[in-house]
Structure 1
Amino acid sequence: MFDFSRSTLISYALILPIILLALSIHETAHGYIANKLGDPTAKSLGRLTLNPIKHIDIFGFLCMMLFHFGWAKPVPINVRYFKNPRRGMALTAAAGPVSNILLAFVFAALLRLEIFVVSALTVSVTVFNMICVLNYILYMGVLLNINLAVFNLIPIPPFDGSRIAHVFLPQKLYFRIMKYEQYIMIAILLLLWFVPFFSGLISTATNGLADLVLSGVGLSIKTEAGQTMNLMIYHLFGSLFA
């Protein structure tokens, strides 16, 4: 089930900083918006930081490394500080996925810039290999951030999507569902691991949004830049990961 070949271990090492950044940005965004809306809880607990140690949930981190979907330690939110608790909770919840989508755009823009610069240069094989590594890191920066955003937008507890859906649900129904969030979380993980149809739905949403982000900076597979990106990643796996 798990692949610990040389190429896989190298890829884990390359995506490690991206995952730490994505998880930290996600949780910090929750705390930042909550603080702006009047809830100082995250700030008082030292959670308004990009230090990953403050945010990492070990199991969620391992899932992110192995399966490219996961979670961090939730930032505590006290809705009693919000003038409008439902609206405040929805905005705070949306901040995490939105921050990851914005970060995906940053990685995509850097990837587009890198391909533009490299296409005008003549470099040695060694330098080209290093550029391909950077290309892979930036590309995975797009995919992993989109994965994290889509996974957290599932409108079922305990994901951020359920907090957003709270705006549209009757209060009693929402809190009745929330009582079972731990069991629902386990059920979702089991569905992702053992039911291809469910994981396929998540993959379709993830790939669609990732394609939209990449196309937004001119990296559609139909463009020359997009084809160059794919060729460089193919070269990387055919040489460094051989």
Structure 2
Amino acid sequence: MNTATAVKAATAGTVKLTIRQWATEDRPSVKLQMYGVKSLSDAELLAILIGSGTSKNTAVDIAQNLLDKFDQNLNNLGKARFDEINDVEGVGTSTACKVLTAVELGKRRQNAMAALKPDMGTATRIYNYMLPKMMDLETEHFYILLMNNNYRLIKAECISMGGLTEVSVDVRIIMREAVLNNATIMAICHNHPSGSLHPSKYDDMLTQSVKKACEVMRIHFADHVIVTDGCYYSYAEQGRV
């Protein structure tokens, strides 16, 4: 009996099929081994983390409920707190810890790849590098990206953290870090937790202040990139630096 037939039979009665009662080729762990990890849906991947179901729901059912809570969006799930995940029926403390661990490992892998002195020569590359660091922040964080003559990253450092809509930045600190790290090219970057791509008046003023300071120190000011989830604003691309 294949899984579809078994599900119909179970639905007609009162028996709830466990994953072990599914056709072998339909079980998430078997599919992974036979066809590779990319063959699995988001729910099936989560089901492997969850491990076992309950008397009411299979691990896949629980995974689907978890995804439903976060609008079927893994990015939303990645921002979730422990208590929000643990609140889903069938998700216990151990499972919530596993899900958060998997999310964090994904972020750390991105950071590890980015640690190879990447090329920061375009706004897109700056955005791709900074997004893992900024995507889940609830307040504004301001970073400087210090580079050599080939736009290879020397150092990315957060020099200020602020509120929901603004962060205070001291240009003197920015220039000191640039000089100490022998940077010849610099970009600045901060996030907008609100999701707005529109620079504020303070953003404009800060951009001009940093640009003028770089001119005095003979450091090329490459860009000011504003990061949101899924988008960015680049002063360079807009012809404003």
Q: TM-score, normalised by structure 2?
A: 0.32
Greater Rg by CA? 2
Higher helix share: 1
Q: TM-score, normalised by structure 1?
A: 0.31
